[in-house]
Protein backbone atom coordinates (compact mmCIF):
# COMPACT_ATOMS: atom_id res chain seq x y z
CA UNK A 1 0.00 0.00 0.00
CA UNK A 2 2.79 2.44 0.88
CA UNK A 3 4.51 1.67 -2.43
CA UNK A 4 1.33 2.59 -4.35
CA UNK A 5 1.08 5.92 -2.53
CA UNK A 6 4.76 6.70 -3.16
CA UNK A 7 4.39 5.77 -6.83
CA UNK A 8 1.34 8.04 -7.17
CA UNK A 9 3.17 10.91 -5.44
CA UNK A 10 6.15 10.46 -7.77
CA UNK A 11 3.86 10.48 -10.84
CA UNK A 12 2.06 13.58 -9.57
CA UNK A 13 5.38 15.36 -8.98
CA UNK A 14 6.59 14.45 -12.48
CA UNK A 15 3.31 15.67 -14.00
CA UNK A 16 3.49 19.04 -12.27
CA UNK A 17 7.17 19.47 -13.26
CA UNK A 18 6.24 18.81 -16.91
CA UNK A 19 3.37 21.26 -16.49
CA UNK A 20 5.77 23.93 -15.22
CA UNK A 21 7.98 23.30 -18.25
CA UNK A 22 4.98 23.69 -20.58
CA UNK A 23 4.01 26.86 -18.70
CA UNK A 24 7.50 28.34 -19.19
CA UNK A 25 7.44 27.46 -22.90
CA UNK A 26 4.02 29.06 -23.30
CA UNK A 27 5.28 32.22 -21.60
CA UNK A 28 8.26 32.30 -23.98
CA UNK A 29 5.94 31.87 -26.94
CA UNK A 30 3.28 34.34 -25.77
CA UNK A 31 5.16 37.58 -25.38
CA UNK A 32 8.60 38.81 -26.42
CA UNK A 33 8.74 40.72 -23.11
CA UNK A 34 8.49 37.47 -21.12
CA UNK A 35 11.16 35.52 -22.95
CA UNK A 36 14.14 36.30 -20.73
CA UNK A 37 15.43 34.22 -17.84
CA UNK A 38 14.93 36.97 -15.23
CA UNK A 39 11.25 37.53 -15.99
CA UNK A 40 10.53 33.82 -16.45
CA UNK A 41 12.07 32.98 -13.07
CA UNK A 42 10.15 35.81 -11.43
CA UNK A 43 6.81 34.69 -12.89
CA UNK A 44 7.41 31.02 -12.07
CA UNK A 45 8.57 31.69 -8.51
CA UNK A 46 6.24 34.53 -7.51
CA UNK A 47 3.18 33.78 -9.62
CA UNK A 48 3.22 29.98 -9.44
CA UNK A 49 5.37 29.23 -6.37
CA UNK A 50 7.85 27.11 -8.35
CA UNK A 51 10.67 26.50 -5.91
CA UNK A 52 13.31 25.56 -8.48
CA UNK A 53 12.70 27.66 -11.58
CA UNK A 54 16.36 27.38 -12.56
CA UNK A 55 15.84 23.62 -13.04
CA UNK A 56 12.96 24.35 -15.43
CA UNK A 57 15.07 26.82 -17.43
CA UNK A 58 17.94 24.32 -17.56
CA UNK A 59 15.53 21.67 -18.89
CA UNK A 60 14.47 24.05 -21.66
CA UNK A 61 18.10 24.22 -22.81
CA UNK A 62 18.86 20.51 -22.36
CA UNK A 63 15.70 19.43 -24.20
CA UNK A 64 16.35 21.93 -27.01
CA UNK A 65 12.83 23.30 -26.45
CA UNK A 66 14.06 26.83 -27.06
CA UNK A 67 17.06 28.51 -28.60
CA UNK A 68 18.70 31.17 -26.51
CA UNK A 69 21.19 33.96 -26.64
CA UNK A 70 22.91 35.62 -23.71
CA UNK A 71 22.89 39.40 -23.49
CA UNK A 72 24.40 41.05 -20.40
CA UNK A 73 24.18 37.78 -18.48
CA UNK A 74 20.47 37.24 -19.18
CA UNK A 75 19.22 34.39 -21.38
CA UNK A 76 16.70 35.34 -24.07
CA UNK A 77 14.67 32.41 -25.41
CA UNK A 78 12.91 31.63 -28.67
CA UNK A 79 10.65 28.57 -28.92
CA UNK A 80 11.88 25.81 -31.26
CA UNK A 81 9.95 23.14 -33.16
CA UNK A 82 10.93 20.70 -30.40
CA UNK A 83 9.41 23.03 -27.84
CA UNK A 84 6.20 23.40 -29.84
CA UNK A 85 6.02 19.63 -30.27
CA UNK A 86 6.52 19.11 -26.52
CA UNK A 87 3.72 21.57 -25.73
CA UNK A 88 1.44 19.72 -28.15
CA UNK A 89 2.24 16.35 -26.58
CA UNK A 90 1.75 17.53 -23.00
CA UNK A 91 -1.00 20.11 -23.65
CA UNK A 92 -4.00 18.38 -22.04
CA UNK A 93 -2.09 16.95 -19.08
CA UNK A 94 -0.39 20.28 -18.35
CA UNK A 95 -3.59 22.30 -18.65
CA UNK A 96 -5.46 19.98 -16.27
CA UNK A 97 -2.58 19.81 -13.76
CA UNK A 98 -2.10 23.57 -13.68
CA UNK A 99 -5.82 24.32 -13.33
CA UNK A 100 -6.06 21.89 -10.39
CA UNK A 101 -2.92 23.20 -8.68
CA UNK A 102 -3.60 26.91 -9.31
CA UNK A 103 -7.37 27.52 -9.44
CA UNK A 104 -6.78 31.17 -8.51
CA UNK A 105 -4.73 31.60 -11.72
CA UNK A 106 -7.34 30.07 -14.02
CA UNK A 107 -7.66 33.18 -16.20
CA UNK A 108 -3.89 33.47 -16.79
CA UNK A 109 -3.48 29.75 -17.47
CA UNK A 110 -6.44 29.63 -19.84
CA UNK A 111 -5.17 32.67 -21.73
CA UNK A 112 -1.71 31.15 -22.21
CA UNK A 113 -3.06 27.82 -23.42
CA UNK A 114 -5.65 29.41 -25.71
CA UNK A 115 -2.96 31.56 -27.35
CA UNK A 116 -0.97 28.51 -28.47
CA UNK A 117 -2.04 27.18 -31.89
CA UNK A 118 -2.25 23.40 -31.55
CA UNK A 119 -1.15 21.51 -34.64
CA UNK A 120 -2.92 18.20 -35.15
CA UNK A 121 -0.57 15.50 -36.39
pLDDT in tens, the chain (121 residues): 455 545 555 566 677 889 999 999 999 998 777 889 999 999 999 999 998 899 999 999 999 999 999 999 999 999 999 999 999 999 999 999 999 999 999 999 999 999 887 654 4
* Nearest residue to 58 (alpha-carbon basis) of 98, 94, 17, 105: 17
Would the CA dihedral through 79, 84, 90, 96 be positive or negative? positive
Q: State the virtual CA torsion across 119, 110, 37, 51 in degrees, nearest 10.
A: -120
d(CA 79, CA 12) in angstroms, rounded, equals 26
Q: Note the helical H segments in the chain.
A: 2-30, 37-42, 48, 53-62, 81-101, 106-114
Give the start-to-end residue ranges of the domains of the chain. Answer: 2-109
CATH of 2-109, one of 3.10.290, 1.10.3470, 1.10.10, 1.20.1280: 1.10.10
Taking the model in full, what pTM does it have?
Answer: 0.85
Amino acid sequence: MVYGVRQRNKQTKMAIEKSWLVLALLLINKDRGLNNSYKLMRILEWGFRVSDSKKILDEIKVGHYAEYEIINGIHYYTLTQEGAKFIGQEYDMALNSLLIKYPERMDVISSLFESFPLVKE
